[in-house]
Amino acid sequence: MKKFKYLFLPVLVAMLTMSCDEDGYDDYNPGNTPAASMSGEWYIDITDEATGDVLATNTLHRTYDDNNGGLWVSDRLTATTFSGYYLESVVNYDLANLTFGGNNLPNLSDESVVTITEGKIIKNGAKSESGAVVDSIYFKAVFDYDPENTIIFAGHGRTGFVEDEH
């Protein structure tokens, strides 16, 4: 047993010393993308602006930074499925005002063109079903295949809590 202790201690010290080596990670900063404060998952209701008809409820959307000056807005769930209105575009954003949008953007979900206006994220602007305070999101979209129809997307941030899942 004594021999085991004498062998174990140097191995443990060597492992601890090597695991704390930070060489090569000086420039790595996880999660520090320019639009991190606008990124998230959202439960969104989709409404026809002209009629007020609700087209879909609690559709899961994501916003995330593309690390290239744009912000993705997407309802893609898997490679071939979408949760809402088949929307996947990179929009311009204003980080200071938490706004986003763009004209005649490629919609990668179905190769259409979409114009997104009045995009806004409001920090702590909504409550989830459990009552947790979360961010809210709002934007309007017009698709080239239906240019006379404006669709409103409005919802709140996803908490990840089981009681808030849809």
Q: Is 35 exposed, middle or buried, given 0-12, 13-18 or 19+ CB atoms closer than 10 A?
A: buried
User: Do the Cβ atoms of 70 and 89 come closer than 8 Å?
Assistant: no
| Interval 132-146: pLDDT, tens | 999 999 999 999 999
Cut 0.75: pTM above it: yes
Q: Reduced to 3 states, what is the DSSP secondary structure of residue 36?
A: helix
Q: Residue 165: its pLDDT value, please?
A: 85
pLDDT at 166 over 60: yes
Condensed to tens digits (0 to 9), the pLDDT of residues 12-57 reads 566 655 555 555 555 555 556 788 889 999 999 999 999 999 999 9
Q: Which CATH architecture has domain 36-159?
A: Beta Barrel (2.40)
Spatial contact of 23 and 38, defined as CB atoms under 8 Å apart: no
Q: Residue 131: pLDDT above 60?
A: yes
Distant-in-sequence, close-in-space partners of 54: CB < 8 Å, separation ≥ 6: 45, 46, 47
Q: What is the pLDDT of residues 59-100, one digit of tens each?
A: 999 999 887 889 999 999 988 888 888 999 999 999 999 999
pLDDT at 80: 87
pLDDT of residue 60: 92
Residue 63 pLDDT: 94
The pLDDT assigned to 9 comes to: 62
Q: Which of 1-10, 46-55, 111-120 is least confident?
A: 1-10
Amino acid residing at 49: E
pLDDT top residue among 121 and 29: 121
Per the DSSP assignment, residues forming a β-bridge with 47 are 54, 152
pLDDT at residue 66, rounded to an integer: 80
Cβ-Cβ contacts under 8 Å for 85 (sequence gap 6 or more): 46, 55, 56, 59, 75, 141, 151, 153
